[in-house]
Amino acid sequence: MQGFTVGNYAESFTEGATLLAHWLQEGKLQYRETIQEGFENIPEAFIDLFKGNNIGKLLVKVADR
């Protein structure tokens, strides 16, 4: 096993972003996210992140645009 960071593949970023966008449009990629509502819930969301209480990306919605 060998670790890596995104920087190890910086020269391929444009190609990768293009492929990922195409796959997302085709429905080949799916994502899941947990959304907490309200600025006042930031501390709870942060704790939940480390407890593993979220599914996929954890977002805090602080305002409507």
C-alpha distances out from residue 33 to 2, 12, 15, 46, 60, Å: 28, 26, 25, 14, 11
Residue 65 in this model has a pLDDT that exceeds 90: no
Domain boundaries, the chain: 6-61
Q: From the CB of residue 61, how many other CB atoms can be counted at a distance below 10 Å? A: 11
pTM value > 0.75: no
**Which residues in 32-58 are b (16+ Cβ under 10 Å) and which e?**
eeeebeeeeeeeebeeeeeeeebeeee
Task: Write out pLDDT tens, residues 7-58.
Answer: 999 999 999 999 999 999 999 998 899 999 999 999 999 999 999 999 999 9
Q: What is the Cα–Cα distance from 30 to 55, expressed in whole angstroms?
A: 13
